[in-house]
Amino acid sequence: MIASPALLALREATASAHETLETEARIEARLADPTTRAATVADFYRFHAGLEPASHPQVAELSRAVGAGFDPRSRANGIAADLAALGEPTPPSALAPQLRSVGEALGWVYVAEGSMLGGRIIRRRLTAEGRGLEGLAFLDPYGEETGERWRALIALLDLACTSGRASVDQIVQGGVDGFAFAQRTLQPQTQDAAA
């Protein structure tokens, strides 16, 4: 199978941002610790609830227009249920900028969808450490559908480019900006970073 040019470009442009998030935002450690779990889940709510209205409508319309099988689905509602299970109120969304093109919106959706790949791994590792998964259902929103959804998103990236509705450059810009938004919303504030 020939790898998707848009996916390859996204990976190359965002690999270092992903690594920074994985290491500096201490997401797994903060989810593992019962004293920081709820606040960390709230950060994920702010991220998804901010990103979804900025990107989903454009991506849903694109998917219909090019006949792709990818439908953006909200993660924010599921995270609100996780927060309720943890006894934490739903916080306000983080404010995402207005996106200038459907290509950028696709890049943002790539960041949000990709986070489920790491999320499943985090759940597996926490289980292996014998930790409870209360409030962490959002880390694996699609279960057995995960692979199928990921492939549908990649197919949409390619159809968006071959149909001329988006360019690889716009998609990459969205991916870079989406990771910067994730960094802003998921990075612990200085006072918790010392904990």
- Single out the segment in contact with ligand HEM by CB under 6 A; choices: 18-26, 33-41, 72-80, 161-169: 18-26
Site string for ligand HEM, 27-66 (x = CB under 6 A): xx--------------------------------------
Cα 16 to Cα 135: distance, rounded to the nearest angstrom: 29
Tokens of 181: 């938004």
Give the three-class secondary structure for 50. helix
- Single out the segment in contact with ligand HEM by CB under 6 A; choices: 22-30, 59-67, 79-87, 130-138: 22-30
Within 13 Å, how many C-alpha atoms sit on residue 18's CB side? 15
Q: Please select the residue that binds ligand HEM; options are 50, 72, 114, 174, rule is CB under 6 A.
A: 114
Q: Closer CB to ligand HEM, residue 63 or residue 115?
A: 115
Please state the φ and ψ torsions of residue 155, each to the nearest 5 degrees.
Answer: -60, -40
- Check residue 13 for interaction with ligand HEM (CB under 6 A): no
Q: How far are the Cα atoms of 47, 60, 193 from residue 189, in angstroms, in the given order?
A: 15, 34, 6
Whether the CB-CB separation of 93 and 181 falls below 8 Å is answered with: no
Q: Please select the residue that binds ligand HEM; options are 121, 180, 193, 195, rule is CB under 6 A.
A: 121
Q: Closer CB to ligand HEM, residue 65 or residue 147?
A: 147
Q: Closer CB to ligand HEM, residue 117 or residue 195?
A: 117
CB of 117 to ligand HEM, least distance (A): 4
Cα 173 to Cα 92: distance, rounded to the nearest angstrom: 26
Cα 70 to Cα 78: distance, rounded to the nearest angstrom: 19
* Residues near ligand HEM, by CB under 6 A: 7, 11, 18, 21-22, 27-28, 110-111, 114-115, 117-118, 121-122, 182, 186
